[in-house]
Amino acid sequence: MSSWPFLFAAALAMWLLLKGPVAKTPLFVQQVCRIAIVFLAYCGFLYLLKWNPFWEWMLALGLENRNKAEGFLILISTLFWVIVTLRILLRGFRISDARAVALESPGPRRETTRQGLTLTDWILWYFSFHRK
């Protein structure tokens, strides 16, 4: 059950591929790579939870019940995996030209207003009311 380092290494290798040669591929391929990264990291974490030296170290930190802690960590990691996977999948449904369209046709010009007091305002206030 000590295959968790290889799963984390595979996730790191997939991330390096995503930053390198896969960066110029279509969005679908990049999404598959991101999902693979999350899945490999999730599997690596689950295998880490089944590794006995990890729990010897955790019990030395003060955990009293391995079963409750392991169940809780599996639940949290599964929820995290599902949320991140759905975020990756749903991220591809955005309109890709929205920024280009927004930049080409700007709306009416808005005047910027100053918010808050500046150091100059404080200095002017001080010298106008505290002068002797």
pTM over cut 0.85: no
Token output for 27: 């969005």
Token output for 39: 């899945």
pLDDT tens-digit readout, 57-102: 887 777 778 888 888 889 999 999 999 999 988 886 555 555 555 5
Q: Specify the pLDDT at position 132.
A: 56
pLDDT tens-digit readout, 21-32: 888 888 888 999
Handedness of CA 115, 120, 124, 126 (dihedral sign): positive
What mean pLDDT is reported for the chain?
Answer: 81
The answer to whether the CB of 34 falls within 8 A of the CB of 71 is no
Cα 90 to Cα 95: distance, rounded to the nearest angstrom: 12
SS (H, E, C) 23-74: HHCCHHHHHHHHHHHHHHHHHHHHHHHCCHHHHHHHHHCCCCCHHHHHHHHH
Give the rounded distance of the alpha carbon of 17 from its chain centre. Answer: 18
Q: Left (φ > 0), alpha (ψ -120 to 50) or beta: where does 116 sit?
A: left
- The closest of 40, 9, 34, 6 to 19, measured between CA atoms, is 34
For the chain, domain boundaries:
4-95
